Amino acid sequence: MRLYGPIGAGICAGIALGALLQRFAPHLGEPQGLYQQVPLRLGRFLFWLGIPLSIVGFMRRADLSGNLYLAPVVAWAAILLGLLCSRLWIRRTPQDRWPRPTQGSFSLAAMLGNTGYIGYPVVLLLPQLGVGVFGWALFYDALGTLLGSYGLGAILASEMGGQRGKTAQPRQRQWLARLRAVGLNPIILAFGLGLGLKAIALPAWLDQGLYQFAWAIVVLSLVLMGLRIQQLSSWQHLHRATVAVAIKMLVLPLAVGIGLTLLGVDGPPRLVMTLQAGMPCAFSNLVLAEAYDLDRDLSVTCVGLSSAILLLTLPLWLWAFSGN
């Protein structure tokens, strides 16, 4: 209840707000309408300011000792395993039934999870975890999922998307643009800032204010999740989406949990990385699908289906990997 209560309340509040805006907001269905602008502006606020500042606030209380470098290694192993499983599944079916944009969306859904907007709240709200082990989730997301999304994910999307071969930019310039986008990502910058400020004593009022602001951002992230879920209207390609979601939310966390156990990693670090590996399909997949002309319907279906399944898979991983 300590976990599902706040998560459910935040997501339901976002769904209710989206329903109200859909019914009463002017310019319904147009880009300038509140129904479209509220989640768009809230997402931009969280991306550019909210989540970066919350990372700084939580990092001041997180324990950053130990083998935190293991978190991004595990994240990349899970991403590559998801890519491998998706490619093996595609190859077992006739290729003419898999257009390249559909292949791209399917692989991205199997690889990349929402370790930020929903992964952070899950780790922070669980009584078995909390702020003390937030560093594991942060390293997994910032140095794993984030780089995977806009690095390997962008490369895959550009190769599989409908815009392949249509860009006038030289390949070297595309690489530089991608590296610049990752390096200037506010979450990466906040990650470095938080590391630098951790050893500096701040005034008590500022430190407490940052901490309270960070928790408010957790709530807003859940509200945004609800707003986005309320706007999901496409449930096509349900069979393919089910396979991709099964890889992302069953195969990957199970492999991570068992692999870490065999390596002798247990306790909260193992649980954090297992949960992060089992997060729903990332919203960044929708961004990549739009930018590179992938199969948007499949991406939307995967995000909606995986978000609904999360509440069923969480107890499974808590039961299997919360012990020592």
Q: Which residue has the tokens 């939307």?
A: 300
Quote the mean pLDDT of the chain. Answer: 85
Domain harbouring 153, CATH code: 1.20.1530.20
Separation between Cα atoms, residue 321 and residue 324, nearest integer Å: 8
What's the confidence (pLDDT) of residue 80? 97
Cα angle value 69/73/74 (rounded, 5°) = 115
| Total number of domains constituting the chain | 1
Res. 50: pLDDT tops 80? yes
Separation between Cα atoms, residue 57 and residue 189, nearest integer Å: 14
Average pLDDT over residues 232-253: 88
- 98 burial via Cβ count (<10 Å: 0-12, 13-18, 19+): middle
**Residue with the larger pLDDT of the pair 291 and 99:** 99
Percent of the chain beyond pLDDT 70? Answer: 88
What's the confidence (pLDDT) of residue 95? 63
Q: Which residue has the tokens 């706040």?
A: 6
Q: Which residue has the tokens 């068992």?
A: 258
Separation between Cα atoms, residue 121 and residue 220, nearest integer Å: 10
Q: Which residue has the tokens 């692989």?
A: 107
Q: Tell me the per-residue pLDDT of 88-114, one tens digit each, with 9 for 90 and over.
A: 999 987 766 889 999 999 999 999 999
The DSSP secondary structure of 148-201, one letter per residue, reads IIIIIHHHHHHHHSTTTTT--S-HHHHHHHHHHHHHT-HHHHHHHHHHHHTTSP
Instruction: Indicate the length of the chain as a whole number.
Output: 324
- 95 burial via Cβ count (<10 Å: 0-12, 13-18, 19+): exposed
- The residue among 306, 313, 250, 321 whose CA lies nearest residue 109 is 306
Average pLDDT over residues 71-82: 96
Other beta carbons within 10 angstroms of residue 96's beta carbon come to 6
Separation between Cα atoms, residue 150 and residue 59, nearest integer Å: 23
Separation between Cα atoms, residue 303 and residue 287, nearest integer Å: 12
Structure pTM? 0.85
pLDDT tier for residue 165 given thresholds of 50, 70 and 90: very low
Res. 234: pLDDT tops 70? no
Res. 32: pLDDT tops 70? no
Res. 285: pLDDT tops 70? yes
Q: What contacts 12, CB < 8 A, 6 or more positions away?
A: 226
Average pLDDT over residues 20-41: 74
Domain extent at residue 170: 4-321
Per mean pLDDT, which range of 92-101, 128-137, 155-164, 239-248 is the poorest? Answer: 155-164
pLDDT tier for residue 25 given thresholds of 50, 70 and 90: low
Q: Tell me the per-residue pLDDT of 171-224, one tens digit each, with 9 for 90 and over.
A: 666 667 666 666 667 877 888 888 888 888 889 999 999 999 999 988 898 888
Res. 303: pLDDT tops 80? yes
Res. 255: pLDDT tops 90? yes
What's the confidence (pLDDT) of residue 168? 46
Average pLDDT over residues 47-66: 85
What's the confidence (pLDDT) of residue 292? 81
